[in-house]
Amino acid sequence: MIGIQVDGKPLLRAYSMASAPYEDFLEFFSIKVADGPLTSRLQRIKIGDAIYVGRKATGTLLTDNLLPGRRLYLLSTGTGFAPFSSLIKDLEVYERYDQVVLMHGCRHVADLGFSQSVVNGVLESEHLGDLAASKLKYYPVVSREPFDNIGRVTDMIENGVAGTDLKISPLNVAEDRVMICGNPNMIVDLKHILSQREFVEGSSAKPGHFVIEKAFVER
Ligand SMILES: Cc1cc2nc3c(=O)[nH]c(=O)nc-3n(C[C@H](O)[C@H](O)[C@H](O)COP(=O)(O)OP(=O)(O)OC[C@H]3O[C@@H](n4cnc5c(N)ncnc54)[C@H](O)[C@@H]3O)c2cc1C
């Protein structure tokens, strides 16, 4: 949870940490909702202003919640990329999987700026660059303007286009494990696609073939 003080009281919202566990700062990737109670204010904070950061972190997007597999898919839309920004900077992820497929869907090309810069940073990093170059496959998708990959993450998975473009076998339960974070509708659609392919949802109580986290809730 992060937030600010409004009228003498904390105004807090759930956020994913975009920074890696070893980084000496916390990074967040935020939407700006024009009339959103928190983000209409948060977008105006200045250097030196104080914000609240909760002490306790929770969440399901952990490799321990997944059964062993060969390939890890990280499927996101919008700010749902935030937790994957942290994961693709984590050495352990590359040690566990032969391939890491990061898909990020946005409406406009400009919305991909953060994921593109994080991926570039990982590929250029001294301690992860070579490993990531051999394992990380970044597949950005744009739905509302011309781009190399036009459409929706769900369609690209369902019709196998992403697999064909990346020259990997179609999504299958024998090899693939999946983490999903994003728009609630995308989550519903992907859960349906995965359950048709016999993927079972995992949790900290019982690891499975996929795990999900909402990037926001509809109020
Ligand atoms: C588990 C979890 C993790 C989250 N992680 C992040 C994160 O890393 N980055 C982030 O920006 N937000 C994240 N959110 C959403 C965040 O908690 C707030 O909703 C967001 O900061 C807006 O707050 P607000 O008070 O300005 O507006 P709110 O009143 O909270 O939201 C107003 C409306 O804006 C829309 N909305 C809110 N957040 C988003 C979003 N991220 N993307 C698209 N539409 C949205 C929804 O329709 C919502 O009903 C997360 C939410 C959950 C439940």
Q: Tell whether 134 is covered by a domain.
A: yes
36 lines ligand 1 (CB under 6 A): yes
Residue 127 near residue 152, CB atoms below 8 Å: no
Structure tokens at 109: 């090309």
Residue 43 near residue 35, CB atoms below 8 Å: no
Q: Tell whether 133 is covered by a domain.
A: yes
Range of the domain at 114: 63-214
Residue 68 near residue 78, CB atoms below 8 Å: no
30 lines ligand 1 (CB under 6 A): yes
Cα 215 to ligand 1 centroid, rounded to whole Å: 7
Structure tokens at 149: 């990959």
SS3 assignment, position 91: helix
Q: Tell whether 56 is covered by a domain.
A: no
Cα 198 to ligand 1 centroid, rounded to whole Å: 31
Amino acid at 57: A
Cα 18 to ligand 1 centroid, rounded to whole Å: 15
Q: Tell whether 29 is covered by a domain.
A: no
SS3 assignment, position 61: coil
- Choosing from 31, 35, 107 the residue with most ligand 1 atoms within 8 A of its CB, the one to mutate for a pocket test is 31
Q: Tell whether 207 is covered by a domain.
A: yes
Q: Cα-atom radius of gyration of the chain, to the nearest Å? A: 17
Q: Is the pLDDT of residue 218 over 90?
A: no
How far apart are the C-alpha atoms of 26 and 31, rounded to whole Å?
Answer: 17
Q: Tell whether 121 is covered by a domain.
A: yes
Distance of CA 189 to the CA centre of its chain: 16
- pLDDT given at position 43: 96
Structural domains of the chain, count: 1
pLDDT tens by residue, 160-175: 999 999 999 999 999 9
Q: What is the CATH number of the domain that holds 128?
A: 3.40.50.80
pLDDT tens by residue, 119-150: 999 999 999 999 999 999 999 999 999 999 99
Tokens 């321990």 label which residue?
64
39 lines ligand 1 (CB under 6 A): yes
pLDDT tens by residue, 198-212: 999 999 999 999 999
- pLDDT given at position 135: 98
Q: How confident is the model at residue 152 (pLDDT cuts 50, 70, 90)?
A: very high
Q: Tell whether 55 is covered by a domain.
A: no
pLDDT tens by residue, 56-82: 999 999 999 999 999 999 999 999 999
Q: Terminal CA-to-CA distance of the chain, rounded, Å?
A: 17
218 lines ligand 1 (CB under 6 A): yes
Residue 73 near residue 176, CB atoms below 8 Å: yes
Q: Note the maximum CA span of the chain.
A: 55
Quick check: pTM over 0.95?
A: yes
- The mean of the pLDDT values for the chain is 96
Cα 61 to ligand 1 centroid, rounded to whole Å: 17
Q: How confident is the model at residue 219 (pLDDT cuts 50, 70, 90)?
A: confident
Atom of ligand 1 lying closest to residue 18 CA:
8
Q: Tell whether 118 is covered by a domain.
A: yes
Residues 6+ apart with CB under 8 A from 210: 66, 177, 178, 179, 180, 194, 199, 200, 201, 202
Strands 99-106 and 210-214: unpaired
